[in-house]
Structure 1
Amino acid sequence: MKIRFRGGAIAAALLLSVVAACGGGGGDSGDSDRALRVAAVSDASSLDPIRGNAGTDHVLIYPLYDTLISYDKGLEAQPGLAESWEQKSPTELTLKLREGVKFHDGEPFNAEAVVYNFERAKGEGSNIQADLASVDSVTADDEYTVTYKLSAPDASLLLVLADRAGMMVSPKAAEAAGGDLSTKPVGAGGWEFVEWKRGSVIKVKRYADYWDKDAERVSAINFNIIPDPKTRVTSLRSGQQDVVMDVSPSDADGLEKASGVAVSDTPRVNVNQVYLNRDSEELGDPQVRKALSLAIDREALLKSAYFGRGSVANGALPSDYWAAPPESVKSEFNPDEAKKLLAAAGETDLTFDMIVNADSATVRVAEILKQQWSDVGVTVNIKPLEIVQGTSDYFNDRKSPAYLSQWTGRPDPAMTYRLLFSDEGYFNTSDQWTPGLEEALEKSDVSTEPDERKPGFDEAAEAVFADTSFFPLVFGNSIVGLSEDVDGFEGNLLGKPKFIGVTLG
């Protein structure tokens, strides 16, 4: 992890863990009384973990909901609300739950609550059914033991439970809210809900009965919704914010030179990409999709739009990750071949709409893509929308064949492939498997050992590449701005901090 300070401490590696299983040794001494002010990129799509549809939600809801399984900064599984686990067979996972945990409404967390949350996640209105597709049932073996019973081996399940499917809500609160906790979240996290002013701020306060009494926690967190990247940075420099998420690469150099602030710049599995509806009239032909991909100069994008802070994306996972695509999967820039493929497909005057996140950095990327596609005779109509509206228009209402945004990553690589490219994946508007992918992922489930799973993921990457199921662009670094009052911040490969361990000086 790289953190640079000016006007305060010199560069340092901040070693406090953010996982819920580990204590910070300071209990409730995270600060005096002031709230930690966090400038967030986007408002929440929902505060209910099963109903949200934006990857940017995680930073806002992790404080409210502890997960069954946690993870360290390298995405290795760690204890969470489950203190231990055992894989009794390839189709059975047993979790031993922590005792003495309470939800924010005072209700006990136990095996029956886990069963309730599973059935809720598999039910109507849930956006995460694909995450648990392999699970047939969950049984309460005793008050603090549950067993997940699978229809087929699924090596990703452990880390699936470190994401939305593992965020436990109070059954009593969910029932009282008619099954929808979108505006009345009740979890078992380190902070409890206070207020949500849509488009403005989400406020949480330290939960007094949190199970981990040793965890360092600030007294409160105010997530201030500031979509414009330059405004976020300005607010940090002026002392109005303590933490600024997703600093734009164009602003990072200047912020590193500023007094009294730090910049955390770390790699992550977040990929900037163009989502594609492969069932659309405009982009249904894989030959056309291949042509459009070949027309993209990703090196130029990395240099001009991301200022070199990141790496070119060949697939859904970065090259230095254990499940990275094989060398056979490589994004190429070949506009001449792109023109030939378009001509062969009879699409010499192709025009299509593309929804784009309305922040200035993403619009800049869209304008570069527009020019590159224009060079091969393709016209794209850019439709800038705020993130929550854009995700709704694209994923729910299918109003456009393409969407320029980002995939914020998931703890296990199989989750990424299933959510993006399976027939039940919420983020796959084509509603069809990428050819060959289902069989490849079955091979990745033969073991929980990374080395034994890797061949299956290689085949998965090759299947997605052959079909051109999406346009991966750039893996942008996680760049976070910090005031000199903030201590204990640590990033992770997801670029989604949980704020356990963070203190205010």
Structure 2
Amino acid sequence: MNVRQSCTAAAGILALTLTGCGGGGAEPAAQAEVEPGYLAVADDTATAEGPVTVQVDYDSQEDGGLDPQLATTARSWSLFGLVYETLVTVDAEFGFQPGLATSWEQPDETTYIFTIDTSAQFSNGRALTVDDVAGTLERLKDGVGVWAGQIGPVDSVETLDDTRVQVNLSEPYTPFLAALANSPAGILPMEEIESGQVDIATEMLGTGPFVMESHRQDQNWVFSRHDGYRHAGDVLITELRVDIVGEDATRQAALREGSTALANFSNVDALSLLANSGATMYSQQQSDFYYILINGLREDSPLNDQDLRFALNAAIDRQALSNSALAGESAPTGVTPSNLPGACDPADLPSAGVGAEGAAGLIEASGYDGEPLDLLVYNSEPVLGQMAQVIQQQLEAAGVTVNIEQLDTAAYYERTHSTVPGNFDMALGWYAGYGDPAMVTRWWNPDIAGFSAAFAGSHEDLNGLIDQAAAESEPAAREQVFTELCHTVDEYSEMVPLVHRPGIVGLNPDLLTMDLAANEGYGDFLRYLPTARPVSAG
């Protein structure tokens, strides 16, 4: 099986020494925060207005079209967030700040009262009302999108007066505000939707800083400044063009030559390849993380043995995986993303203390007979093939033969998610980590997630911890629950978190200056674009 390499210049298989490598130029170095929580801050002396072009790796690919409530990908969240506003937003420390809600109170564990900024207006000129807010949240809770599960146990929504909306939960749910802070919870123009004036699947009508002028699938988006936006004086980008450019090398060239002001990259080699290009490169820690699925649900599979699954888990050296496949621009994580407040410490996981020799001993003691195991990856993200090679070497050193299979995305999901049980032994992929440690843990309960029933069992003790983590609000008690939850996931070893998925961002300082958070919970590297400042070259 030929697998694309981590380093651009590499032609052979990944070196057994498991060392990192770069593709030329300076080696990537750890980046200091210029201000607490930020890798970059906008230069407030830049006051020019003008157009800006951004390049991103892929377009929104949503079954629900442009309906933000049905959005499932980080790129959709970023693009939709340019038009739609949420009740609250997250800051660089994952604290909550006002959005369309100027304030909120929580009179008890299951009641939230939001005061709405009714000075906001949709881009058609109509003022935002509490009915838009209540209707949006009702539509979201009754919908079929992923985010209907993330906003938790919303029982009812009611308007109290012309400026206040009350949300009643059926039980305590600590991640509620974090779930409201992402664009699938963006407030919609319910009057126009209900009257049929707007088809939200094909049109965008929001209160946010930009107005969508056009969208050509897999080619580009064009946005104009929303002059009726209540903070329009802070928006200096008059026209925003987002080009969809699938190849990393093409986006790198555009950044070098100045045809784009901002671009993101899926390959960490971009840090070194563009080190001397004049672009400023950033490695943003994201709560997204890579995982390995170890499928113990197939009959007659050796992976039915939990002890063997745990031994395979323990044989994977996360830091070596980061150093080799991700040039050290990542870090190990447990099921609660380690860059979020209160998350468990991955160094304390049961598997972390076993070591390579101990893992080999556990594999031998399990009675594993040497049957080769397949490891699936999808080819749209080359780093997965690179990670698979490192894992293959680590497991072979522990006495397990691994065959890597690279598939297109559709074939991968057909094998891993479409049938119960899934038709595979092991598989690599990644999850969005979100903005609260409890949110992603819900996918470890197949009764909630649905899709994970193809490879993970439903465990009463783990499901109880997932529910407890979502309900607990006292910080110290919450951290203890997260620790126990992470340990339990680690011991079952079915959906095994590995390392964070870094976000590589390049900025042309001759064209744009902007804020960029050191940590991001929703994969939104465009989060601060509305307050970015164009710069005139030369």
What RMSD, in angstroms, separates the aligned Cα atoms of the two structures?
3.6
State the partner residue of 2:519. Answer: 493
- Give the alignment of 1:20-419 within 5 angstroms: 31-34=48-51, 36-46=52-62, 47-175=66-194, 181-246=200-265, 248-259=267-278, 261-275=279-293, 279=297, 286-318=306-338, 321-325=341-345, 327-329=347-349, 331-332=351-352, 333-334=355-356, 337=359, 340-341=362-363, 344=366, 348-352=370-374, 354-373=376-395, 376-385=400-409, 401=424, 403-419=427-443
The corresponding residue for 2:533 is 503
Report what 1:459 is aligned to: 484
- TM normalised by structure 2 equals 0.79
Distance 1:104 1:390 in 2: 41
SS in 2 for 1:43: coil
| Counterparts in 2 of 1:69 and 1:168: CA distance versus 1, 3 Å | same
CA contact (8 A) 1:487 1:504 kept: yes
Q: Report the alpha carbon displacement of residue 101 of structure 1 after superposing the two structures with TM.
A: 1.6
Q: 1:440 aligns with which of 441, 452, 465?
A: 465
CA displacement, residues 303-361 of structure 1 (integer Å, 9 cap, x when unaligned): 12111112223444226843233653155453773585488476632444624251333
Unmatched tracts of structure 1, length 5 or more: 6-10
1:156-197 Cα distance to aligned partner (Å, 9 max, x none)? 111111024521222245446799734323322211222222
Bigger mean CA offset, 484-493 vs 146-155: 484-493
CA distance in 1, matches of 2:375, 2:192: 42
2-structure distance, mates of 1:24, 1:480: 18
Pair 1:56–1:367, CA change in 2 (3 A): farther
> What SS class does the counterpart of residue 103 from structure 2 fall into?
strand
Which of 137-146 and 447-456 deviates more? 447-456
Q: Higher helix proportion, which one?
A: 2
- Residue 213 of structure 2 aligns to a residue in which SS? strand
Conserved 8 A contact 1:54-1:391: no
Identical-residue share of aligned pairs (%): 21
CA contact (8 A) 2:377 2:404 kept: no
> What is the alpha-carbon distance in structure 2 between the residues aligned to residue 479 and residue 107 of structure 1?
38
Q: 1:8 corresponds to which residue? A: none
CA distance in 2, matches of 1:486, 1:474: 31
Aligned-partner residue type, residue 303 of structure 1: N
Question: 2: distance between equivalents of 1:417 and 1:289?
Answer: 20
CA shift digits 1:412-463 (9 cap, x unpaired)? 1111212454522366354865542332244445654533421222222122
Q: Which amino acid aligns with 1:216?
A: V
Letter in 2 for 1:470: M
Distance in 1 (alpha carbons) for counterparts of 2:37 and 2:363: 52
Residues 366 and 404 of structure 1 are in contact (CA less than 8 Å); yes or no, is this contact kept in structure 2? yes
Counterpart residue identity of residue 486, structure 1: L
CA contact (8 A) 2:43 2:514 kept: no
* Partner Cα separation in structure 2 for residue 137 and residue 151 of structure 1: 9
Q: Which one-letter code corresponds to 2:401 in the other structure?
A: G
1:382, distance to aligned residue in structure 2 (A) = 2.0
Structure 2: which amino acid aligns with 1:150? L
CA distance in 2, matches of 1:24, 1:429: 49
Tell which deviates more after alignment, 182-191 or 316-325. Answer: 316-325
Contact between 1:269 and 1:318, CA under 8 Å: does it hold in 2?
yes
| Larger Rg over CA atoms | 2
Aligned-partner SS, 2:517: coil
Are the aligned partners of 2:290 and 2:499 in contact in 1 as well (CA < 8 Å)? yes
Measured in 2, the distance between the counterparts of 1:346 and 1:320 equals: 37
Q: 1:99 to 1:165 in 2, by over 3 A?
A: same
Count of residues in Structure 1 that have an aligned counterpart in Structure 2: 487
